[in-house]
Amino acid sequence: MPKAYEYDAFISHAVEDKIPIANELCDRLQKAGLKIWYSGRELNAGDSISATISDGLNQSRFGIVILSKHYISKTWTIREFYHFMAREKEGQKVILPVMYNVGLEDLAQKDLTMADRFGIKAEQGLDHVVSRLLEAISKEKDSEKKVKHGSRRWLNIGLAVSILLALGYVGKTILTKTSEKPTIESMEAAVKARVAAMENTILTTNLYNIKKAGAKPTTIESIDSLYTAFKNMKSYYRNEYEFNNGLTTVRAKKNVAAILQTDVEALRPANAYGLILPQIFLLQKGQSVKYTLLNTQPLHYSISESRQLNDSTYSILVKYDNNIRLIEVDLTFAEKASGMKKHQMLLMGFRHEEVYSLLKRKGIWSLTDK
């Protein structure tokens, strides 16, 4: 059953595009009967900007993305784009792109995933843009209604199992209602909720640290020069590694390397820490240097195996690709040659393979780390 959203759409845009297009687009869509999340209307004095926008992203069915040269040059807008892209799945459209004074070449230079989408051209007029958006949203809503109606019909003739997608992430447990045993759909829904919860944790943590530090985007070349200066400093040194997947925390180079099946000591700016086109922020500079890299590429996962352990427990194996979502690096320079410098690396995301147990308790299946 499709999730119920508070808003029909979230308008993701650069602030420079408010007056030229975003404000009027919001007005017209609202007059057409849509409930729109728009930063110019939903943010109030005293609100936490990052938290309020995060809520808006999660509570909106569609993401209307106004792609412009301003949009693709900003970190915050790109994050909104990837948030919606992470929610897309086969057969369900989330992102509705509007091309505003930007070409496919510009998008391709920023990210090929942006260019590989059919966008509504704003140059054809706002009437055309609004009409196409309403058409796309209406089509998706009709499709979802058919799915919902079909599910009810199957239930009425008793040919399907009742699946209640009451999912929640509480501490270390994800819950999903079920009947006698977990169906493929309920397993996939539980894993999807686990992924969404972890991605949200990573995004929230990263935004908080960036806001607290007043950090700005930087380049791989900039952090490479800082890293090289740290490596070339002659002194005693200490390396610390930590991996967190939201369920467990693993420390020490040997343990982290084993879990991730990666030579973590080889991760450095020269190879972008193994990430493709990461978003990079310099949080601190001086005797102590701190920077963070956010994986902008979509996460892929699949349930490759499931088996029943006993009447109340199932085991499922989930495989992840592009699994490291955030890397945070702390470099502490020694105060003098006889002192000690320290290199700390925190990796957040998922193992390449994670095994979960589905435990049935009082009619509820609980997804936990095994």
Beta strand segments in 13-134, E: 36-37, 60-67, 95-99, 120-121
Contact by Cβ (8 Å): 83, 200: no
Cα separation, 297 vs 274, in Å, equals 12
b/e 99-109 (16+ beta carbons within 10 angstroms → b): bbebeeebbee
DSSP notation for 64-95: EEEE-TTGGG-HHHHHHHHHHHHH-BTTB--E
Q: What torsion do the CA atoms of 172, 178, 180, 183 make, to the nearest 10 degrees?
A: -90
288: left (phi over 0), alpha (psi -120 to 50) or beta: beta
The set of long-range contacts for 40-49, using a CB threshold of 8 Å and a minimum separation of 24, is none
- Sequence-distant (≥ 6) Cβ neighbours of residue 40 within 8 angstroms: 18, 22, 23, 26
The set of long-range contacts for 307-311, using a CB threshold of 8 Å and a minimum separation of 24, is 308/181, 309/357, 311/360
The Cβ of residue 222 has, within 10 Å, a number of other Cβ atoms equal to: 15
Residue 244 DSSP SS3: strand
Residues linked to residue 354 through DSSP beta bridges, in sequence order: 318
Cα separation, 225 vs 216, in Å, equals 17
Tell how strand 340-349 and strand 236-244 pair up.
parallel
80 noted as active-site residue: yes
Q: Which of 6, 80, 221, 305 is catalytic?
A: 80
Residues recognised as catalytic: 80
